[in-house]
Amino acid sequence: MTDRIALWLFVLIVLALGLDYWLQDWDGLIFVGAKLGELIEWMAFWR
């Protein structure tokens, strides 16, 4: 991954987090975090 790609990826992530905070007051991030926790639990079951 080049520095240019990494910078654009960072900018896109920061923008997405900023929009989530501005429009939904972190609801999207909380939802994704909860689903990630469920996925980790599910994968640990199958291990």
22-39 pLDDT, tens digit per residue, is 999 999 999 999 999 999
**In the predicted model, is pLDDT for residue 40 greater than 80?**
yes
Q: Report residue 14 as tokens.
A: 């920061």
What was the pLDDT predicted at 13? 97
* Spans of all domains in the chain: 3-46
Q: What is the Cα–Cα distance from 11 to 38, expressed in whole angstroms?
A: 28
**In the predicted model, is pLDDT for residue 47 greater than 80?**
no
Buried b (16+ CB within 10 A) or exposed e, 14-47: eeeeeebeeeeeeeeeeeeeeeeeeeeeeeeeee
